[in-house]
Amino acid sequence: MTAARSLFDAAYYRRFYRERPVHDARHIARLASGVTGLCGWWGVPLRRVLDVGAGTGLWRDWFARERPSVRYQSIDVSAYACDRYGHEHADISTWRPARPADLVICQGVLQYLDDRPCAAAIGNLAAATRSVLYLEVPTTADRDEVIDPEATDLDINWRSGAWYRRRLREHFVELGCGLHAARSAGRHFYELERR
């Protein structure tokens, strides 16, 4: 990611979060309900949540409304987002939390990092995750088959799903729907629940 892109300034937020957002509060509410519901199904207690690249704070707002007892921490690399939405200023490619979280959310972040910082970020996400990681990152297949090019930032690092899976596999068991269980948690899943 170039220095200019690392700013994620007001113009970026206006373009991708206000004019035609990919995700809005309603979409995130459905997603958060599903993610936390599956965590409950697997017996994962949600006491601490870390939101990496928290943007406009949609996950924070959902947790404040639906799970107010959860300790929620949010970070973002954007000085603008931190000032406007109240996140801690941190870059996941170089930062690790003091304590791991039961659930780590990383939505729309890794594609902005070059290969080496992205691999480091995956290691830091693993160190940050006590139980479950929710990861959303567009791949080359998504570019061709899934994303809305009018509402998605296409100026990113396009990588294959295999590139991410090779690096995630060391730390996580892929469960599907963007969910990954930390290997260190020692949880067991039925064969068809995992990839």
State the CATH number of the domain containing residue 177: 3.40.50.150
* Helix H or strand E encompassing 176: strand 172-176
Tell me the residue range of the domain where 115 lies: 5-193
The whole-number pLDDT of residue 16 equals 67
The whole-number pLDDT of residue 144 equals 87
Phi, psi (5° rounding) for residue 47?
Answer: -100, -35
Q: pTM of the full predicted structure? A: 0.92
| CA-to-CA separations, 12 to 6, 18, 21, 55, 156, in angstroms, rounded | 11, 10, 11, 11, 13
Tens-place pLDDT, residues 134-175: 999 999 999 989 988 777 778 889 999 999 999 999 999 999
Is there a contact between 54 and 87 (Cβ–Cβ < 8 Å)? yes
8 confidence band (pLDDT: 50, 70, 90): confident
20 confidence band (pLDDT: 50, 70, 90): low
The whole-number pLDDT of residue 5 equals 47
- CA angle 177/43/138 to nearest 5° reads 15
The whole-number pLDDT of residue 14 equals 72
Is there a contact between 88 and 75 (Cβ–Cβ < 8 Å)? yes
pLDDT at residue 1 is higher than 60: no
Which residues, listed in sequence order, are joined to residue 75 by a DSSP beta bridge? 52, 88
pLDDT at residue 62 is higher than 50: yes
Domain total for the chain? 1
* pLDDT mean across residues, the chain: 91
Rg of the chain over CA atoms, in angstroms? 16
